[in-house]
Amino acid sequence: IGLEERFIEFLDIQVPLYVHPVKPGRDIVLLIETTVLNHRLKEMGYHSAKEFNIKLLEEIAKGKKIEKEG
């Protein structure tokens, strides 16, 4: 789940491919539920990773402005 979108062809249809690092003790159900919710949001036009990246870059830029002034 991130900015990069990957697809795999399955029966001549492009299907989104999601890869998760899984280790013992990880809550796999929560990972899958989060992935499904994120996918549904993307289909409705809201890209949470892009939105997060934009906000993060804005905060970094604010921090750099404060450093230059101080």
Cα 5 from Cα 12, distance rounded (Å): 18
pLDDT tens across 9-53, in order?
999 999 988 888 888 888 899 989 998 998 899 999 988 888 999
Predicted local distance difference test score (pLDDT) of residue 37: 93
Q: What predicted TM-score, i.e. pTM, was given to this entire model?
A: 0.65
C-alpha to C-alpha distances, 65 to 49, 52, 60, 69, nearest whole angstrom = 24, 20, 9, 6
Amino acid at position 66, single letter: I
Start-to-end CA span in the chain (Å) = 37
Which tens digits make up the pLDDT trace of 55-70? Answer: 999 999 888 776 666 5
pLDDT recorded at residue 14: 94
Cα angle for residues 40, 56, 16 (degrees, 5° grid): 25
- Measure the CA–CA gap between 63 and 52, rounded to whole angstroms: 17
Side chain identity, residue 21: P
Q: Give residue 69's pLDDT.
A: 67
